[in-house]
Structure 1
Amino acid sequence: MELIASQLEADTDYSFVSQLYQQCSSAITDLRSMHHNPHLSASLEDLLETLSFQKSVLDVRRNGNRNSVWDRRRVASEGAFQYSVPEYSSSSSVMTMTQPEPLTMSREDPIQEMLVPYTGQTGQLEEVVGLEEVKEVLSEAVIMPRKFPQLFQGGAKPWKRLLLYGPPGTGKTKLARALSSELQCPFYCVTSASLLSSWVGESEKLIRELFKHARQQATQTFIFFDEIDCLCRKRSGGEDEHSRRVKSELLRQLEGARGDDDDGVFVLAATNCPWDLDPAFLRRFQRRLYVPLPHSEARKAIILAHFSPSPLSLSEDDWRTLLRVTNGHSGADLTHLATAAAFQPIRELQTARFWRFTNDNKITPCSSDTLGAMQYPLSKLPADKVMARDTELKDFLSALKTSPRTVTADSLRLYEEFSGIPDEVAT
């Protein structure tokens, strides 16, 4: 693409060039979806942006506008390049482009993006359904030391680094946000995409700046690493030097760069694959908490919360059936299931032909033999009067066909083996 842009002739087949660009873009996109290596993904993203820029050069040349494109900047994950205005020779249409110059970019900007502002919402730990043991440990580690500092003297030092692990969709991220909201302290939400850079040395500097920024806060700060296994996978002999330096710097900061452990920074991490973590990182976390799938009472509370404030009218037998068929569902699975079930009565409105008035003067579907039934298509009814029927057990059973559980029995055994849970206890 760069060669075509620099040696453009009048008889260039633009349709072929456009087709070539689409094929290259699709190939790069497919590679990014196949490979989960963050460094490779950043390089492919950089290549895709370069390809897009060269395509814009061709489009401008084709339209005869040579000046509008040169203000465009190509931004990498941690820096930017600006293309300077090319110089054209009077005797030739060949253009020459000066070497891109790197632009300096403050590391304060990505750190500020990690800092989640406090919105004033009243999220509390007790509002998280179930997970009583996990919430108790989080309260002992973070909340009680702030309320009763005199109790945590001598050997009873509170934990400073905790790891949450378990199946996806069990509420690990929700626990972190609820804890931060309850403490009303600065909350940094960190992912691999926000830390890893394609520039050599930038990732390590950004990690140092992150912990430095957190330690400079006036109050206790909270750093949450989501999907930390993307950053801290087991080291191997074939690992590149850049990844090793990033892991070494993160290990150093987790331990405490100043050599003390009382720096006002609390680190919480979450992962769905704890067995992929390097043993050195596992050792840094003083407590590892298993976040299991919700039990029957928690599943019932999650479903009821989804339909709040409207009540969900199910009999005791219906609840027993529903809780039995949802055994093994995560919190996220139950949310998707409840949404799909709630759409079943709405979907019936489009095919309903007979309607009746309710006690509160609303219009709802009914059968043809219902006393006072009216026959109308939905389009002929006043929109503000139409109301769907209540969600029933049959709606949940129908929704199970399209919203099955996502956590398999084999994956659950992996978590139980990692946690050291005996089979008889797990069952």
Structure 2
Amino acid sequence: MSDAGYARARGETFEYAGATVELVDAATVLAAARVNPVELLRRATWPEPVQRVDLTVSSADRDGGPVHTFAAAISTADEPLSKERIRRLVLGNDPVGLLLAKRIEAGDPIATRIVDGVGAAAAAAYRRLGLDKPEKPAASRQPGTIADAAVGMQATVTYDESGTTVRLHAEVPRDEVTPAHLQAFAGLTLQAVIELTGPESLAGRRFVLSRETLPTTKATTKDVTLDMVGGLSAVVGQLREIAVSFRHPESMARWGAQRPQGILMYGPPGTGKTMLSRALANEIGADFREIRTPEILDKWLGGSERNIKQIFRDARRYRVPTLMLFDEFDSIISYAGSGGDAASQAINAVAGIFKQEMNDLIEANPNVIVVATTNFPHRVDDSLIRSGRFDVKLSIPKPDEASRAEIFRKMIRALIAAHEAPGFQMFADDLDLAALAAASHGMTGADIKEVLRRVQLAKAMEDARTGGRVSPISQEELLASVRELLGPR
């Protein structure tokens, strides 16, 4: 059985300078790197002054033959005047700052305008005072080499001109590369981190090297990433391309290219359209602003039109990357019909203003991208979603059998990463994901999540009644939950 058939990730754990490092599916990582670069070590927390570590495995052709390349970039400074840094400057930890942060989290447009306005002023002041210049690391900035004698790997160490980023690079012939080389390069990367942070700085920390971003605590919808999405590889690939175009405006400008301004996602309920929108926002590093029907539709004449105008007026003032989601788009902007009654006229007025506001949004504020989702694309007028307004249209179908197996795998692995601990095993080792996928014909990702929720609840209740004498979740229990949710056929 291939690794994709296992619910439990097969990882090897090793210790380095007091830190625990788990290397998940190293052979799969190396195989995938032959086709596309694979990023590891994302979303880890590092001791000061290190802010971020990017570790990538890829492939390249050299005169002597193909090689696997290992690269790491250790950054000791926040991105100058990034969204997070500006927010920290403005909000702080005082009661007013905490209150504003909660209001922004809830999508309050007034609080957002206040903070964005103050943030813009703070950013300008920091630039004038020269405080946006990153600090330089304390380590030596002379290029050098570090090595792992066990596998004979050498990595060159260089520093960028600003002195804030340390880079490691190593190459191994493709025919000779093994998981031991990946482990060795991870150790060399941590060695470079220690040189910046101190010999005891990594003690007690845990790092996971994985193609997938697995949560170390209970995951929430807000934390979802594209790596967590199962069964939609083509859609995820397109969203990654959009995120790259959003994060690199300088490349867009160099070629006179314009990234997509709007994305329409359509498909049956429960296929993950809203989740994908949040994952895209997290991939970009953008704020997530969800606009629901009650924020727009108003029973008073002209109220809905005013609400649409205000939403886009706010959007033009955002000073940080922001993804605006119009969920259930068909219920907000229904079909612009030709009826002469008052209701049809009101619908046409709202649709008309939406079209006007979308026409120049990207020129007015390149920090904003608009996503609309709908279960009923035929209810949306074509003129609303034409190219130039919504340049990308993505069909989000129900998952097929292979996709359902991947969804089960990713959801179960996320639960294992979040909840299993020494002495507690959540799932049995012999789960058959292919059988689960076959049994769950017609289910969506939301349905599979409900299957797992029901089994988890049943186990928790059994745990409460028996005082902890509960076996791990078995294949038969999962199949029973699938049958229960599908109902009689």
Q: 1:327 to 1:114 in 2, by over 3 A?
A: farther
Whole-angstrom distance in 2 between the partners of 1:166 and 1:159: 20
| Alignment TM-score, normalising by the size of structure 1 | 0.54
Q: 1:327 to 1:278 in 2, by over 3 A?
A: same
**Residue 271 of structure 2 corresponds to which residue in structure 1?**
170
Q: 1:312 to 1:151 in 2, by over 3 A?
A: same
Equivalent of residue 427 in structure 2, options 294, 299, 312: 312
Any conservation in 2 of the 1:114–1:188 contact (CA below 8 Å)?
no
Q: 1:241 to 1:110 in 2, by over 3 A?
A: farther
Whole-angstrom distance in 2 between the partners of 1:113 and 1:336: 35
**Residue 387 of structure 1 corresponds to which residue in structure 2?**
469
**Residue 484 of structure 2 corresponds to which residue in structure 1?**
402
- 1:9-68, Cα deviation, whole Å (9 max, x unpaired): xxxxxxxxxxxxxxxxxxxxxxxxxxxxxxxxxxxxxxxxxxxxxxxxxxxxxxxxxxxx
| 1:155 Cα offset (Å) | 5.3
Greater per-residue helix proportion: 1
Q: 1:341 to 1:192 in 2, by over 3 A?
A: same
Equivalent of residue 109 in structure 2, options 108, 111, 121: 111
Q: 1:392 to 1:327 in 2, by over 3 A?
A: same
Any conservation in 1 of the 2:246–2:284 contact (CA below 8 Å)?
no
**Residue 352 of structure 2 corresponds to which residue in structure 1?**
248
| Alignment TM-score, normalising by the size of structure 2 | 0.48
Uncovered stretches (5+) of structure 1, i.e. residues with no partner: 1-108, 351-377, 409-427
Structure 2 matches for 1:44-193, cutoff 5 A? Answer: 111-112=109-110, 123-147=224-248, 149-151=250-252, 153-154=254-255, 156-193=257-294
| 1:207 Cα offset (Å) | 1.1
Whole-angstrom distance in 2 between the partners of 1:133 and 1:336: 25
- Root-mean-square deviation over aligned CA pairs: 3.3
Q: 1:131 to 1:170 in 2, by over 3 A?
A: same
Q: Percent identity?
A: 24
- 1:301-360, Cα deviation, whole Å (9 max, x unpaired): 2441463233522536x333212101321111001111222344456679xxxxxxxxxx
Any conservation in 2 of the 1:344–1:395 contact (CA below 8 Å)?
no
Any conservation in 2 of the 1:190–1:226 contact (CA below 8 Å)?
yes
Whole-angstrom distance in 2 between the partners of 1:247 and 1:182: 30
| 1:204 Cα offset (Å) | 1.1
Q: Which is greater in Rg?
A: 1
- 1:376-426, Cα deviation, whole Å (9 max, x unpaired): xx5xx7x4xx23211112212322343128xx9xxxxxxxxxxxxxxxxxx
Whole-angstrom distance in 2 between the partners of 1:219 and 1:319: 41
Uncovered stretches (5+) of structure 2, i.e. residues with no partner: 1-106, 117-219, 421-425
Any conservation in 1 of the 2:315–2:365 contact (CA below 8 Å)?
no
Any conservation in 1 of the 2:407–2:445 contact (CA below 8 Å)?
yes
| 1:300 Cα offset (Å) | 2.6
Equivalent of residue 341 in structure 1, options 426, 434, 455: 455
Whole-angstrom distance in 1 between the partners of 2:235 and 2:435: 28
**Residue 6 of structure 2 corresponds to which residue in structure 1?**
none
**Residue 379 of structure 2 corresponds to which residue in structure 1?**
276
Any conservation in 2 of the 1:129–1:298 contact (CA below 8 Å)?
yes
Whole-angstrom distance in 2 between the partners of 1:217 and 1:254: 15
Greater per-residue strand proportion: 2
Any conservation in 2 of the 1:152–1:158 contact (CA below 8 Å)?
no
SS at 1:156's partner residue? coil
- Please say if 1:266 is aligned against 2:369: yes
If asked which structure has higher relative contact order (CA below 8 Å, sep 6+), I would say: 2
Give, as a single letter, the amino acid of the residue that structure 1 aligns with 2:443. Answer: H
Total equivalences in the alignment: 262
Whole-angstrom distance in 2 between the partners of 1:236 and 1:314: 57
SS at 1:324's partner residue? helix
